[in-house]
Chain A
Amino acid sequence: MLIREIVLRCAEISQIRTIYFGGGTPTVLSNESFSAVMRTFYDNFEFHPDAEITVEANPVTIQGDYDTLLLLKQLGVNRISLGVQSFCDEVLKSLGRLHSKADAREAIRRVSEIYPNFSLDLMYAIPGQSMGMWQETVNEALSYNPAHISAYELTPEEHTPLWDDIKAGKIQITDEDITIEMYEFLTSTLKIAGFDHYEISNYALRDRQCQHNLNYWRRGLYTGVGAAAHSHVAVDGVIKRYSNAANITAYTEAINNGTLPIVDELIVTESEAERERIFLGLRTSYGVHFENIPKAAVELLTAGLIEINGNIITLTEKGFLVSNFCIGKLI
């Protein structure tokens, strides 16, 4: 099904610069299927010589599977992103993760042997996670010499068990002051280790920024394949964002009919595009170019939340912490 969609999409893409296989890919796709998908890409598209091909993996499935890791490498995959989250079993349990810290360690060992360019996902402000636990996790992550780290604050989403437990008062969310301390520990520690805080929640060693994600933040075009995947495309000069049907039946039906399973298509107007440019740009350390610096910038500058270099505004570390507030003022 995926292969048929990829073929259907040929017209949209001139050259592939990055591919990102999202959550759980090696588990869902058998080695044979994965090979077939990759072959379809190679057969139908031209690749950029430095194309970045990332596979997102979780520690449980990848740790014992040395063969798969080798196969992926042979098929051209050159970057692995591992959803480690934490090196503390108590915290992993609280998150409802299936892997233990031992699984995580084993997975990293295997991955790092084959892929020098690997990234670790970490999470903080998790109920039950102390400052000490977080410090240990960050330090241990650094000990494996990853090329890249993504770190998010736990955000309880509506309609999840965690949300319900918080509402019911069964679980206490992490205190604001502790969350800020965790963020500050993370940024200062990674800085000393030579990481560039190039996006609000992403850190990379020199030249190891995730090219795929940078493309999102630079408002580049991309094509998402598979159910519920999002795309940002230009059709006859019209910029559109849309997603594929999340419903598998609807998705399959459309592909079988030789059509694209598009839902929620949105034409991006010029002013919307401009707001996208500002808010996405401000999320990165590269900032945003303003023809005219907005009046509100003065207040933010004196508060130390932004820096202005010529016509480019960038958020400071302090500004990243209150990014919505700053973006709201500048948008």
Chain B
Amino acid sequence: MAQKNIRNFSIIAHIDHGKSTLADRFLELTGALAKKDITKQVLDSMDLEKERGITIKAHAVRLAYESSDGVTYVLNLIDTPGHVDFSYEVSRSLASCEGAVLVVDATQGVEAQTLANTYLALEHNLEIIPVINKIDLPQAEPQRIIQQIEDIIGLDCSEAIEASAKSGIGVNKILEAIVHKIPPPKGDATAPLRALIFDSWFDNYKGVIVMVRVFDGSIRPGMVITMMSTDKTFEITDVGVFTPRLQLMNELKCGEVGFISAAIRNVEDTKIGDTITNALNPAKEPLLGYKEIKPMVFCGIYPTETNDYEALRDALFKLRLNDASFSFDPEPSTALGFGFRCGFLGLLHMDIIKERLEREFNLSLINTAPTVVYRITIKGDTVVYVDNPTLLPEHYDKLEEPYILATIFVPERFVGNVLDLCREKRGVQKEFTFYGKDRVKVVYELPMNEILWDFYDKLKSISKGYASMDYEFIGFKESDLVKLDILINGTALDALSTIIHKEKSYYKGRQIVENLRAVVPRQMYEVAIQAAIGGKIIARESVKALRKDVIAKCYGGDITRKRKLLEKQKEGKKRMKQFGKVEIPQEAFLAVMRVGK
């Protein structure tokens, strides 16, 4: 395929604005799949993705499209993950494209995520094709939405396409625009190989499958390649594309998008954003933009049943084969036994991994409250990073917490609520702009710690679901933080320690002990629950000793019901963690997270 007939593009859209439906329509119109084979949204192949409606892993599909000019073009549709946790993956997918289709719902308008990804695309000099989707809905307002895109993004929308992916309106127009507006890939076919890794996953038969965009040169089976960030070399076994079925090729040429496999056993060796080159004829410089992605959110994950530790370890190893962006290290806890401290890109990433562990590996797990990474300076110049509140040293010179820059879009009628929320979360306003009649963009600097607890849920509820948010990490800042310990009968329960802002510590300490009192069952002895900062008790509750059960009758008709009740009680007991003489139920470990404000 001649380089000039290749078009590499992504679709940028907010959740539910119609990205997957449009992709399905492309597959159908180009004959890649018969209509009956399209099992609703082919690109989202993982069950979890389908359930959450979010694309977690990027894929790429190669389509052959015969344009109205009589030429057949190769269209490479590179899918992008739809959540802020995976923004680096998005940026690498976009870097592999020359253009993007921007899909905006004609009834909803621009959302924060759309804006962030469009800006990313513009940074990479991508040609943007604006599409106003769902124009067949009665409440569609295409003109207002076009105006909004021009105002907010500053994008010329004079040639925006009005479409309905669901009913097929305008889809041909979009394909034509892709062919005629998006430029063909540049790149030197004769230069040494440079291919960008934008996705990779583990396959039981082929080892790691690596999705690449070839920028210079070409790549063939038998070639020995070098990963430029690590200098590791591998011999290519297969190259090919997904149409969406896997199809082997003789080579991937300059400008093309496809996969390679090279008997790579470890997904960590194929870092997203890395450049692949020819080991025998290496490129001088890697492609721009590579960075090591680091987990931002940490929590302890423990098996409910102590003897499931090995099973949990095996499951974590297996999941990591497919996802090098989360980390895990063994971690012992006095309260929870042996488990792992796991690091994730964000909260959604954490939820996904935990859900997969429980669902795919049939494990029952307890996780501790998520925490960010703190930067601590000791003895003037030693810098350490702490991802577990229990490990915070007693003395330090400086304690810094990570900050984010959050961009929030919200209808004007809810903006007051959003400002209150951001202030409450220690936010500093950086921007406040009106767009059109009623849309406001607010930008805040916020401590990342504050958005871990319940920020997103609150944002949604105070805006009736209308606010959207995107954020990026901007660095560490010194804060007045303290470690809040929870003591059960005088001994600190390590898994319940948190690091929080001093001003909020009293309120939170009180809330946590109150929540705990409600979930810790009465036992033979009184249980004292205390919150402490640096040895000073700031709140106390007690669970009174159990003094009586109900004295009830138990005759012939009561026996089975009573037996089942006792068995249920026993089952609940099994899931409790023994801490000294006290039995702590699982809910206790969530009690810390359920603290409002």
Contact = CB atoms under 8 A, between A and B. Distances in A.
Interface of A: 150-153, 155, 176-177, 179-180, 183, 200-201, 213, 216-217, 222, 224, 228-232, 241, 243, 266, 272, 275-276, 279-280, 283, 299, 303, 320-325, 327-328, 331
A322 B553 contact: no
A201 B563 contact: no
A331 B570 contact: yes
Interface in B541-591: 546-557, 559-560, 562-563, 566-567, 569-570, 573
A275 B548 CA distance: 22
A320 B563 contact: no
Contact of A276 (B546, B548, B563): B563
Interface residues of B, number: 22
Contacts of A152: 551-553
25 contacts: A152-B552, A155-B552, A177-B547, A180-B548, A183-B548, A200-B551, A216-B556, A216-B559, A222-B556, A228-B557, A230-B556, A243-B557, A266-B560, A272-B563, A275-B563, A283-B554, A321-B547, A321-B548, A321-B551, A322-B547, A324-B550, A325-B524, A328-B569, A328-B570, A331-B567
A324 B550 CA distance: 8
A279 B553 contact: no
B567 A275 contact: yes
Nearest to B523: A325
A328 B566 CA distance: 6
Contacts of B550: 153, 155, 324
A323 B549 contact: yes
A216 B570 contact: no
B548 A179 contact: yes
B524 A299 contact: yes
Interface in B304-318: none
B501 to A, nearest CB: 38
Interface string B260-273: 00000000000000
Contacts of B552: 152-153, 155, 201
Most B-side CB within 10 Å, residue of A224, A231, A279:
A279
Nearest to B549: A324
Nearest to A230: B557
B551 to A, nearest CB: 4
A183 B549 contact: no
A303 B524 contact: yes
Contact of A322 (B546, B562, B569, B570): B546
Nearest to A264: B560
A152 B560 CA distance: 20
Given A183-B548, A276-B559, A201 B570 contact: no
A303 B525 CA distance: 10
A5 B567 CA distance: 34
B558 to A, nearest CB: 9
A224 B556 contact: yes
Contacts of B554: 200, 216-217, 280, 283
A231 B25 CA distance: 64
Given A150-B553, A152-B552, A222-B556, A176 B562 contact: no
A325 B547 contact: no
Interface string B513-552: 0000000000010000000000000000000001111111
B557 A322 contact: no
Given A216-B555, A266-B560, A323-B551, 20 more contacts: A153-B551, A153-B552, A155-B550, A155-B552, A176-B548, A200-B554, A201-B551, A216-B556, A230-B557, A230-B559, A276-B559, A276-B563, A279-B566, A280-B554, A280-B559, A321-B549, A322-B546, A324-B549, A327-B566, A331-B570
A272 B562 CA distance: 12
A241 B560 contact: yes
A275 B566 CA distance: 9
A283 B551 CA distance: 10
A280 B554 CA distance: 8
A275 B567 CA distance: 9
A183 B559 CA distance: 23
Contact of B546 (A201, A216, A228, A325): A325
Nearest to A217: B554
A279 B558 CA distance: 12
Nearest to B548: A321
Contact of A331 (B553, B557, B566): B566
Nearest to A279: B566
Contacts of A230: 556-557, 559
A180 B553 contact: no
A158 B570 CA distance: 23
B551 A183 contact: yes
Contacts of A224: 556-557
A262 to B, nearest CB: 14
Nearest to B525: A303
A224 B557 CA distance: 9
B556 A180 contact: no
Interface string B335-350: 0000000000000000
Nearest to B567: A275
Given A230-B556, A232-B556, A275-B567, A320 B547 contact: no
A279 B249 CA distance: 70
Contacts of B557: 224, 228-230, 243
A245 to B, nearest CB: 14
A324 B566 contact: yes
B545 to A, nearest CB: 10
B567 A320 contact: no
Contacts of A283: 554
A202 to B, nearest CB: 9
A283 B562 CA distance: 12
Contacts of A228: 557
Most A-side CB within 10 Å, residue of B549, B556, B566:
B556
Contacts of B556: 216, 222, 224, 230-232
B252 to A, nearest CB: 62
A201 B557 CA distance: 16
A155 B547 CA distance: 17
B547 to A, nearest CB: 6
A216 B553 CA distance: 12
A327 B563 CA distance: 11
Nearest to A121: B553
A321 B570 CA distance: 19
A322 B524 CA distance: 9
Contacts of A213: 555
A176 B547 contact: yes
A277 B35 CA distance: 63
A222 B556 CA distance: 8
Nearest to B569: A328
Given A176-B547, A279-B562, A280-B559, A328 B553 contact: no
Q: Which 5 A-B pairs have the closest CB atoms?
A: A230-B557, A324-B549, A153-B551, A230-B556, A321-B548
